[in-house]
Amino acid sequence: MLLGFWLPYWAIMAVLFLVAVFVRANQITAFMAIGLGVGAVWLFFPLYLWLTTDSQLPMRMSEIFGLKNSSYLLGITGVIGFLLGGFSGLTGNLLGNIFHRR
């Protein structure tokens, strides 16, 4: 979490890509495991910040995007995190399969 203050969001995707290169798993496992991990962080950390700071920003952003409920914004954020993490894991796994001897 602390690295998020200094690094862009895609830096963690590069780290997870490298993890998936070296950890032996099938493609579905790599996609789901890393995707669920990143998706959970991208869902629950903004939820935690929203609840502890009582910020109006999620509601205002939801209005800008035309969403009726600000909870949709959190869900969309979680889905985006899931997809980014999942495809990072899958890509790393596929690259690892190229170099792995069977």
Task: For residue 6, tell me if it sits in a domain.
Answer: no
Range of the domain at 34: 20-99
pLDDT tens, residue by residue, 34-67: 999 999 999 999 899 999 998 888 889 999 999 9
pTM of the model: 0.87
pLDDT of residue 39: 96
Residue scoring higher pLDDT (3 or 76): 76
pLDDT of residue 94: 95
- How many folded domains does the chain comprise? 1
Mean pLDDT within 84-102:
91
pLDDT of residue 102: 60
Task: For residue 5, tell me if it sits in a domain.
Answer: no
pLDDT tens, residue by residue, 58-82: 889 999 999 988 889 999 999 999 9
Task: For residue 15, tell me if it sits in a domain.
Answer: no
Cβ-count burial 73-102 (b if 16+ within 10 Å, e if not) = bbeebbeebbebbbebbbbbbeebeeeeee
